[in-house]
Amino acid sequence: MKIESQLAQIGSVSDSVTGAVSVPIHHATAFRHPRLGQSTGFDYSRSKSPTRSVLEDAIARLESGDAGFACSSGMAALQVVFSLFSQGDHLLVSVDLYGGTYRLLEKVLSRFGISATYVDTNDIDALEANLRPGTKAVLIETPTNPLMKITDLAKVCRWARSRELLSIVDNTLLTPYFQRPIELGADIVVHSASKYLGGHNDVLAGLIVTRHKALSEKIAFLHNSIGAVLGPQDSWLLVRGMKTLALRMERHQQNALRIASWLATHPLVAEVFYPGLETHPGFALQRKQASGNTGIFSFKLKDARLVEPILRHIRLIAFAESLGGVESLMTYPAVQTHADIPEEIRRRVGVDDRLLRYSVGIEHVDDLISDLSQALEAARQEVAGCTETR
């Protein structure tokens, strides 16, 4: 089946007893054994639960992987994956990185002797130059958050395999609807499923998909041992959200492209970072390896003084963290999502005090542009007034 049909049908035939087309929510933590030495396949819900299993099987199919694992958050999913590594191990990581991932690596895993070097993962020479005897994996965000840098997944995964490294891809921003990294050679895919997969800003979840059985067995052991599992209620919410993923992603990208194009010509905007724009340096590569674009982009203002009044004057768009929901959200990465990254690193990458990140929702695009327009104009007038007063 095409992916749209697969999404709509998640869990629709999971209950053979009643024929329910919505997957039941099994709150049980314990399950009866038929007799000594026999199991129904469910023993204790931390190891496996019926509702979570429907979700895990679905994401494995959608990502063309061997097995899926549902975690209590995107960060919990990363913690499970990072638990594959040991003291002295080293990772190569996308330089433009979500702040929470940087925090986990630098403030938690570093205490256990796991180190990371941040590089442009689309630069094979840079990857080679930073390779160490203890390097075990490369972690790729593509597009990156928040600057939308694109990595050639097939090229880098091929290079990683030639060096006997695991390739781990964060596919949160595109989802399997637009991009399937395992088909391009990745070993592990992770998602902050709270974002586009859930889609309604009402569930906290993370997902992992593994390429082959040996890796699936390792992740299954860690998932169960750490206990970072998703509960049945949240598993059901995520399944329900994923059923409309195709419709939502199409609307997200349509709105984002229209608004990014409008902002690119606005006199107060210095630069727009969106791979759907032909001016983006990764435009051709994105078209080659993905079937569409995300609904999030960042833009840099010409004057940092505009940031505060813009965030104060937006009305339809909410000044809030997170992304990927049906509601439009705007955030200020320098002091919110990327606050844990040291300022000198942020500025070197380009996450400075003029950058805003916009998660475009599914509202009518004309209303969103109107809201942005009035907020930008109000900010312009305030800044101009302050300048005149001085």
- Angstrom distance (rounded) from CA 172 to CA 245: 13
* DSSP three-state, residue 190: strand
Sign of the alpha-carbon dihedral angle for 195, 198, 201, 203: negative
Per the residue annotation, which of 48, 52, 89, 98 is the catalytic one?
A: 98
The residue behind tokens 């001016």 is 279
Per the residue annotation, which of 15, 46, 155, 287 is the catalytic one?
A: 46
> Around Cβ 21, how many Cβ atoms within 10 Å?
11
Phi-psi region of 185 (alpha: psi -120 to 50; beta: other; left: phi over 0): left
Nearest to 176 by CA among 160, 191, 186, 154: 191
CB 363 within 8 A of CB 316: yes
| Catalytic residue list contains 107 | no
The DSSP-derived string for 279-340 is TSTTHHHHHHH-SS--SEEEEEES-GGGHHHHHHH-SSSEE-S---SSS-EEE-TTTTTTTT
- Angstrom distance (rounded) from CA 68 to CA 55: 8
Burial zone of 71 (CB within 10 Å; 0-12 exposed, 13-18 middle, 19+ buried): buried
The residue behind tokens 């030495």 is 37
The two structure tokens encoding residue 47? 């190891």
- Angstrom distance (rounded) from CA 356 to CA 336: 11
Burial zone of 341 (CB within 10 Å; 0-12 exposed, 13-18 middle, 19+ buried): buried
- Angstrom distance (rounded) from CA 240 to CA 249: 15
Query: Parallel, antiparallel, or unpaired: how do β-strands 269-273 and 296-301 relate?
Result: antiparallel
| Catalytic residue list contains 98 | yes
Per the residue annotation, which of 149, 180, 195, 211 is the catalytic one?
A: 195
Per the residue annotation, which of 170, 187, 234, 371 is the catalytic one?
A: 170
Torsion angle of the four alpha carbons 295, 276, 317, 371, in this order, in degrees rounded to the nearest 10: -150
Compute the C-alpha angle 316/319/321, nearest 5°.
Answer: 125
| Catalytic residue list contains 170 | yes
Q: Which residues are catalytic?
A: 46, 98, 170, 195
